[in-house]
Amino acid sequence: MTNGWIDIKNTDVMLIMGGNPAENHPCGFKWAIEAKKNRNAKIISVDPRFTRTSSVADHFVQIRAGSDIAFLGGIINFILSNGRINKEYLVNYTNAALIVKEGFKLPDNGVFSGWDDETKRYKDISTWNYEEGGDLTPKDAATFAATASTLVKPPAAPAAKGAAAHAAPPPKPAKVVKPAAAAAAGAPATPPPPSLPPNVAYDLSLQHERCVYQLLKKQFSKYTPENVSKITGADPEKFKKAADMFTSIRDKGDTKKVGTIIYSVGWTQHTYGAQIIRTAAMIQLLLGNVGRAGGGVNALRGHSNIQGATDMAGVFDILPGYLKLPVPADKDFNTYVTRTTPKSAKPKEWDSYNYWSNTPKFAVSLLKAFYGDAAKKENDWAFHYLSKIDRKYSWAEIWDNMYKGTVKGLMAWGMNGVAIGPNSNKNIEALKRADWLVVCDIYPEETSSFWQSPGITEEEQKKINTTVYRLPGAGFAEKDGTFVNSARWLKWKYIALEPPGDARRDHEILATIFVKVRELYQKEKDDPKTKFPDAIRDVSWQYVNPKAPTFTEMAKEINGKALADLKDEKTGQEIKAGQQLPGFAWLKDDGTTTSANWLYCGSWTEAGAQSQRRGQEDPSGLGIYPNYAWSWPANRRVMYNRASCDLNGKPWDSDRTQVKWNDALQRWAGNDVPDFKVDSHPKDHMGPFIMTPEGTGRLFVPLAGMADGPFPEHYEPMESPVENLFHPKQSSSPVAKSFKSDKDKYGTPKDGFDVVCTTYRLTEHYHYWTKNNPVNHQLVPEPFIEISEDMAKEKGINGGDKLKVSSARGEYYGKALVTKRIKALQLGDDKKKVYPIGIPIHWAYRGIREDREREKGNTTYLNPINMLSPAAIDPNAYTPEFKGFLVKVEKA
């Protein structure tokens, strides 16, 4: 979330799409209700079915699962054609005015420029970049007048400070435009890969035909309400009402009101999931909603600590704090940080904080935390101990590798790989081929029981040679430590009860394994067969009990400490060696600081655990609660909050002031912690988006930022009932990853797979655990499949009938829930009738119901839902397409 849960109460309108917070985040959803009750805020719910969220929404639109970019693209088109923008914000805080390289081509035929049809990849993305050249704003009077209010000023000379420099500035002399060809010629023809130009060209009047704004207009002109309707199946009037309702906050030039976009895995779980979220971010940038109380783009995380898992590198290609993992080409530390540290790339007259320029400080402090004294300047801070990633090790790829036989074993902690899927049949088959499997869980779940999955006979079970180790882990209430919620709060929790029986806290099991492995390395260090023992031997493991580190020890370690006496020259503040660091601004690249995650630096200071704070004060009334828990980064609650003010540093809405420029103090201050260089005067024109080298929000993502193109484009899911309306020849995303094994099959309407299936969770259950809990089991006892009334009528299905749902990959069984909440869709020019269905994910073959059925000998109805879903993944986030795949439905 750019904002936070409580902040939702400050909004005027909510677009809830790709998520069902009333169902899956009922506690957080209270803030949506608060906004509704206290601000009369409106909720727009867009979903493949009428959900619990829709039940309290002011407007509901049903769309086809997987057509989200079309719907959001339609909103962008609506914004642009109706002038529903915050122009000052758009020109100054986003890259709308920046000019894109000549030769950049929009995906009219389904691909952007640089596509190589032979190798089927984007071979040359050098045109996905800004033009170099400075101010190209036409200088005639008319355009000047049009842009006067938002015109950028050159960096103020000290003498100009305090003067009435905020009035219309004198027109600057026109710059000589460098021919684009010349710029291109200046660039080397071969790698190193293209980088952003240092002096980006811009046109503040937004008239230049290659400025981002004009390209955006062109790109989204085809997303008309009619086309949106043909793709999504939404009624055009209902779409228009939704677009109008959400963008009404910018009606008639209003800049006070604010809207928020709330989403969840309904957006991420597509082969173009990251681009859906980008489309939403673009809407928010156009409307000027990012950085503002009650605004932002807000991801609702699906587990209590998934945000923490991501921050701490629960993703294969990052290190804690979103530092990039080294690749084999990073031959030394310097190469690595040069590659991963972005250089400021902006119009010359603008300013950019480019906070990622601190990457070396974060990286050295991280290596010091990992390897302690063994990380020295002389050995490149032990950089070579880090594994260098040679290929993708994403979730679906791990299973594919195991299926192919290259991965021989799996340690599964805190997840249930078979049930999670996708393509569970393949995962089960992969586990059959593995040598060993270690599962640490609190229940005997599907993964550790993969050999008991439906359809495996006793004869076949005898032939499975995988050795399975089940380790009894501990539940969440049996551990302390922090949870990091969607609002990025680190909140300490306490142990409610001890783990039962032989169960142990998961990290203690892991620590014991580590200590054992290290002992082996030490014992056999002279054995020539022992390879590369240093990386294990030199790990910093400074815990009182090495086999059972406490979470307190680890939390302090993650925060980091000073290794030498430090002094801030500006403030005179001193930190003694050994003291906890108060924040990441103190991190150094000379080895005098440690921090195992720079983002969490400040969470456990000399003042104690900030995550344990429970202060109830909220002086602003905006729900900031600055003394409650601790929010990364630096305890700020709303990210990019500089953007909540206009160019002069005055809040767009003074009733919702987060920070503002304080002229007396000559710094940014307010209710929240400024997410900005605090002493950067508004006249300096520093971009509020301090994490991009441009300092602006990106409507256009240059270079390799997005694997599937600088702008979002509507693509069909890997399995789609219709062809892409815009470019039937390139129906699905050209760069979506799918697999080639015999288990990776895809269905088409021609083969009878003509029903669009989407999957989701229920309030009553939590993933694949709560089927083991009697009360949850009582609330919803068995699997069901939601189908529309007309589909039920056509197929002669009554509510409660047993259904068989099959995809090209597997089958699923459940009872029919016939509902008015899902309706048949009409798609395309020929109004093709398509039935959508929905299936909750929670059941499989282990649990109260499941174990009972098995005892009775009924194994037919115990398939995991993800036997249906395809292992097709997003090229940016590697998330599988759990939503919007094709199935057929029959009575069982």
Partner 1 sequence: MSNGPLEIKAISGHSGPVPGQDVSRDYDVCKLVDTTTCIGCKACEVACLEWNGYEFRETTFDNTYQTMPDTAWNFWNLIRFNEHENDDGTLSWLMRKDQCMHCEDPGCLAACPAEGAIVQYKNGIVDFNQANCIGCQYCVTGCPFDIPKFNNVTKKVYKCTLCSDRVGAGLEPACIKACPTGCLHFGSKDDMKALANRRVNQLKEAHKDAGVYDPEGVGGTHVIYVLHDAKNPEKYGGLPADPRVPLMVRLWKGPLKWLGGMGMIFGVLGVFIHRVKYGPKHVDKVEEKRP
**Contact residues for partner 1 (CB under 8 A)?**
22-23, 26-27, 29-30, 33-34, 36-37, 40, 50, 52-56, 58, 60, 763-764, 774-775, 777-782, 784, 799-800, 815-821
3-state secondary structure of 505: coil
Do residues 815 and 802 make contact, with C-beta atoms less than 8 angstroms apart?
Answer: yes
Closer to partner 1 by CB, 35 or 204: give it: 35
Contacts (Cβ under 8 Å, ≥6 apart) of 388: 325, 326, 327, 328, 330
* Minimum CB distance to partner 1, residue 12 (Å): 15
Closest CB to partner 1 among residues 55, 573: 55
Distances in whole angstroms, Cα of residue 57 to Cα of each of 21, 44, 70, 99: 12, 6, 21, 40
CB of 196 to partner 1, least distance (A): 45
With a CB cutoff of 8 Å and minimum separation 6, the contacts of 788 are 818, 819, 820, 822, 823, 824, 835, 836, 837
Select from 177, 181, 215 the least CA-distant residue to 199: 177
Between 553 and 782, name the residue whose CB sits nearer to partner 1.
782
Cβ neighbour number for residue 467 with a 10 Å cutoff: 11
Of 204 and 792, CB closest to partner 1: 792
Closest separation in Å from C-beta 774 to partner 1 = 4
CB of 781 to partner 1, least distance (A): 5
Query: Cβ 842 to partner 1, closest distance in Å?
Result: 13
Question: Nearest to residue 564, comparing CAs of 578, 545, 549, 548?
Answer: 578
Q: Which is nearer to partner 1, 56 or 415 (CB)?
A: 56
What is the nearest approach in angstroms of partner 1 to the Cβ of residue 125? 45
Residue 32 or 125 having the CB closest to partner 1: 32
**Cβ proximity to partner 1, 439 vs 862, nearer residue:** 862
Using DSSP bridges, classify how beta strands 13-17 and 42-47 pair: parallel, antiparallel or unpaired. parallel
CA 253 – CA 142 distance, rounded (Å) = 20
Among residues 815 and 832, whose Cβ is nearest to partner 1? 815
C-alpha R_g of the chain: 28
Angstrom CA distances, 596 to 27, 368, 369, 601, 814, stand at 31, 8, 5, 8, 46
Cβ atoms 147, 168 nearer than 8 A: no
Cα three-residue angle 712-43-15, rounded to 5 degrees: 10
Nearest approach in angstroms of CB 30 to partner 1 is 5
Please name the helix (run of DSSP H) or strand (run of DSSP E) that holds residue 115, with its range, or none: strand 115-116
Q: Taking the complex as a whole, how short is the minimal distance between the CB of residue 23 and partner 1, in angstroms?
A: 8
CB–CB of 649/320 below 8 Å?
A: no
Nearer to partner 1 by Cβ, of 37 and 523: the residue is 37
In terms of CB distance, is 53 or 260 closer to partner 1? 53
| Angle of helix 236-247 versus helix 225-232 axis, rounded to 10 | 120
Q: Which amino acid, residue 785?
A: I
Contact yes or no for 97/211 (Cβ under 8 A):
yes
Distance of closest approach, residue 252 Cβ to partner 1, in angstroms: 21
| C-alpha dihedral sign at 543, 544, 550, 556 | negative
CA dist 595 and 580 (Å) reads 10
Closest distance of CB 44 from partner 1, Å: 13
Q: Which two tokens stand for residue 65?
A: 């699962």
**Which residue is listed with tokens 């809830």?**
16
- Whose Cβ is closer to partner 1: residue 23's or residue 429's? 23
Between 222 and 849, name the residue whose CB sits nearer to partner 1.
Answer: 849
- Closest separation in Å from C-beta 823 to partner 1: 9
Q: How far is the CB of 822 from partner 1 (least distance, A)?
A: 10
